[in-house]
Amino acid sequence: MRLDACTNPNSADVLCSEHRMPCMTPDDPWLAAVWPFVHGQLPPAPVRVLEVGCGTLGGFVPGLLDAGYHAVGVDPEAPEGPGYRQIEFERYEPPQPVDCVVASLSLHHVADLDEVLDRLGAVLAPGGMLVVLEWAWERFDEATARWCFARLASPNPGEEPGWLHKAQERWAASGQPWDDYLRSWAIEEGLHPGEDIVRGLDARFHRQLHVEGPYFFPDLADTSEGQEQAAIDAGLIRAGGIRYAATRA
């Protein structure tokens, strides 16, 4: 289904050109790096796009609106504004099925993966496009961890350490082998393996694309996506990122 114009200008979930927002914040290098992939999987604007788990920075919603899409971001911690709904995705009811759903790093930590994947299919119109970016934590082996830890910048005074800093410190304090530490941490955090996410997606959607690649570069000092990819290609580290696109039957 394609929408060539706003069908209900009075609806809060229909965002026409007058609601367009500035381009995505440069504060999140992950968003900037993966935006070309996300944009490249979507049909031409204007269509309805729902972003699941847009986060406090608003995710791709500003970029989508700026590109002419009718976009809404759903997240309990979403920003204020007409382009966002501060609610859990499982409880969100769009006024009608959407043409595209984007989920960036929002599936590996959900409480009930099957429920959320079923819900993705429920909100998508027949033939709609699903774009997923995820992390396969189970591929975060010791060699990859040490490669990342060697590229961490020291936190600024008064600044909270990032998640990789915390992982390095907690691993050292645990006295465990890396694989044991990682497994216990993932269980404690309730993380779903990337392979389970992909398997669940494949069971519900028609896969169009599945690529594994860089994931850690935004949290590393002076390390580009290309440099991480080069390390993957050289066999120094494992690919932790998942980029997936599929359609609903």
Domain boundaries, the chain: 17-139+191-247, 142-186
Q: What is the pLDDT of residues 157-184, one digit of tens each?
A: 888 899 999 999 999 999 999 999 999 9
Beta-sheet strands, E only, within 82-160: 84-85, 98-104, 124-135
| pLDDT of 7 strictly over 80 | no
Which CATH number does 17-139+191-247 carry? 3.40.50.150
| pLDDT of 194 strictly over 90 | yes
**Counts for the chain of helices (H) and strands (E), in that order:** 8, 7
Q: What is the mean pLDDT of residues 104-111?
A: 96
At residue 27, the pLDDT reads: 57
Ordered strands of the 206-213 beta sheet = 84-85, 70-74, 48-52, 98-104, 124-135, 241-247, 206-213
Task: Pick the closest to residue 59 from 27, 91, 37 (CA basis).
Answer: 27
Distance between CA atoms of residues 97 and 170, nearest Å = 44
Asked which of 15-19, 51-55, 84-88, 240-244 is least confident by mean pLDDT, the reply is 15-19
Q: How confident is the model at residue 86 (pLDDT cuts 50, 70, 90)?
A: very high
CB contact set of 161 (below 8 Å; sequence gap of 6+): 155, 169
